[in-house]
A = this chain, B = another copy of it.
């Protein structure tokens, strides 16, 4: 976390600089979007020379893409680590819903990044092979959980995995994205643990309530 850890062995130095730039870029892009972000600021925050940023990433836009892909990959990595396949259907679904809310609450920059990207009609993400590749395994997991729940008589049979996926993600994403607006309007701090816990419980009830067989 130090800006300059003890002089790293000749070779890891470039990688370290690259990483510091990526960290700084993530923060700056999440805070200001693509057009609002300042290359100078990213360089300053990262403790690197601006020239290095261009040497490693080519341009502001290419840096944006790399940051975006890494943010996606990071979320998917944690998601995978949940290993919900090993859980019974209801617990698995609960875990997924909770994870999604908690993850974005812990990483509001992920939400900010995605929303900023949506402004450009997904110009970058849509082009990214690696991001597309991250979706399919996730959907497979969900499909499996739903199937097992139906077989166990715990879930309704007509639930579509894609719709479920969208719903689970929506519930957390919107909450985090609009946290500031909503906190002001409702006069409560939606970022507090109490508020998060309440939202978490609600989200789980919504998803399980929907899946509950008639």
Name A residues whose Cβ lies closer than 8 Å to a Cβ of B. 31-36, 112, 114-119, 121-122, 125-126, 131-132, 135, 160, 162-163, 166-167, 169-171, 173-175, 177-178, 180-182, 184-186, 198-199, 202-203, 205-207, 209-212
Q: What's the number of copies of this chain in the assembled complex?
A: 4
Beta-carbon contact of B119 and A36 below 8 Å: yes
10 A-B pairs closest in CB distance: A170-B174, A35-B36, A209-B210, A122-B180, A115-B115, A122-B181, A126-B184, A163-B202, A206-B210, A170-B170
A118 with B166, Cβ < 8 A, contacts A33-B33, A33-B36, A202-B160 known: no
Beta-carbon contact of B181 and A126 below 8 Å: yes
Min CB distance A192 to B, Å, is 14
Bound Cα distance from A210 to B202, whole angstroms: 9
